[in-house]
Amino acid sequence: MDTHAFPVTRTDAEWRARLTPEQYAVMRNHGTERPGSCALLYEKRAGTFFCVGCDQPLFESKLKFESGTGWPSFNDPVPGSIETTVDRSYGMVRTECHCSRCGSHLGHVFEDGPPPTGLRYCINGVALRFEPAA
């Protein structure tokens, strides 16, 4: 991912100015928020979840589900909004997902979700901004 050119790029100073320290740690340094710590985990209204880094629409609320993991979970992203890479950190092999527009780390995708996709996009809530449907 480090050599991939994304449509939205910012300097480190610009990222730090745009993001809170927790958002920066998660989105730019591949961190993870504490499970259960984000209010968006409990968001149930109709609407869209956007990337905090670049405002790209990432997930529609109709595809959000309760996974019991402590992070917002979705079974399918907005088409073209998410890219993946192999994450070999912490002695595991996982699939990392990041924003296709700015490259920000969002979370991971697992193959233990509900139908119809069977996928669980486990996303750090601090990387998301929710906008209710009009």
CB 126 within 8 A of CB 33: yes
Name the 3-class secondary structure at 23: helix
Output the CA–CA distances (angstroms, integers) from residue 69 to 47, 55, 72, 112, 113, in the order listed. 22, 25, 8, 12, 12
Q: Considering only CA atoms, which of 47, 34, 103 is closest in space to residue 78? A: 47
Assess whether 51 carries a catalytic annotation: no
- Annotated catalytic residues are 122
